[in-house]
A and B are shown apart, each in its own frame.
Chain A
Amino acid sequence: MRKRPDPLGSLEHIVLLAVMRLASNAYGMTVRREIESATGREISIGAVYPTLGRLEAKGLVKSYTGEPTAERGGRAKRYFRMTADGEYALRNTHEIIGKMSAGLKGLQTT
């Protein structure tokens, strides 16, 4: 039986959801923009990368290097994709949030 993972931190949770939404196009700047457009708050690239690094260290995402491009000054992208453990951790966190918010008035989502 798989060990129940620790619940994700709030930024880890949001970043992992962004990686999931972006699927094969998840790299630092798209993750940042996805979060910004969903939350309406500006987030720095310097906050996104340490979080992605933590998620990778926990085995919840994997990264691989893409091709360098001219508009990036010849620098390569670092793509991220969610692992099966990442998906399990997300489900677990959502389950906890669901249980904790069940029956609380004003917290029902549509």
Chain B
Amino acid sequence: MRSRKLQVVTWAFSWLVPRSEREAILGDLAEEYSLRVKAVSSGAASEWYLRQIFTSAASLLWARVCQAVWPATLGVALLGYIAVGVAEFVVNLAISHSSVSGSNGYSPAGMVVTFPIVVLIGYWAERFRRKAAIALGAMLLLVVTVMTASSSESLPLWYRIAYFVAGPAAALIGGNLPTGRRLSD
């Protein structure tokens, strides 16, 4: 008989297991747990059981993400978007410490430096997941549209247009670079 703690963990874990495999996986775990209780000890069996639950949860989650094409593509694009945000922050920070930044808070130099970085991020996103660069470009376009619409700053028109186009274009250019064999399709 498993402890209350193991029963609760098993119940939570069962929600991660696909319905078609639930009975077999939980049955296998229960079977080996009872074998280990007899062969070793209840404590060692519980420790093994919890380790199996946690490592299995990670494996099953990853398998689900890999099977579901769009969530995986969006996940890679989201990671790419975070990388773009970090790169933009670092570049702007470096530029603000120099005297290259423009007036009114806009930074053409930052845009020029960030552009190839976004190309590179788009390239890697596409290598990991097909169409991830397109999803990244769409995310950047969406954010830029919202930011441009809600901004009250008086920025030059050319800068607004360049800001609007640069990020999505860079992601799409990166996605269209020859990638050789993709890491995952």
Contact = CB atoms under 8 A, between A and B. Distances in A.
Q: Is this pair of chains taken from one and the same complex?
A: yes
A49 B25 contact: yes
Interface string A72-110: 110111100000000000000000000000000000000
A1 to B, nearest CB: 27
A5 B24 CA distance: 29
B56 A78 contact: no
A83 B125 CA distance: 37
Contacts of A42: 51, 55
A69 B31 contact: yes
Q: Do most interface residues of chain B lie in helix, strand or loop, or is the interface mixed?
A: helix
Given A46-B59, A50-B60, A71 B31 contact: yes
Contact of B57 (A46, A72, A76): A46
B23 A75 contact: yes
Contact of A29 (B21, B28, B57): B28
A77 B24 CA distance: 5
A71 B56 contact: no
Given A27-B24, A75-B24, A77-B24, A46 B30 contact: no
B96 interface: no
B25 A46 contact: yes
Interface residues of B, number: 23
Contacts, number: 73
Contacts of B26: 73, 75
Given A44-B55, A47-B56, A73-B26, A78 B31 contact: no
A32 B35 CA distance: 14
A67 B102 CA distance: 74
Contact of B30 (A33, A44, A72): A72
A32 B34 CA distance: 16
B30 A49 contact: no
Chain A interface bracket (under 10, 10 to 19, 20 to 34, 35 or more): 20 to 34
B31 A29 contact: yes
A49 B57 contact: no
Contacts of A27: 24, 28
A45 interface: yes
B87 interface: no
A78 B31 CA distance: 13
A102 B170 CA distance: 45
Nearest to A46: B56
A72 B27 contact: yes
B52 interface: yes
Interface in B4-56: 17, 21, 23-32, 34-35, 51-52, 55-56
Interface of A: 27-29, 32-33, 42, 44-47, 49-50, 53, 68-69, 71-73, 75-78
Given A46-B52, A50-B59, A78-B21, 4 more contacts: A29-B32, A46-B25, A47-B55, A49-B60
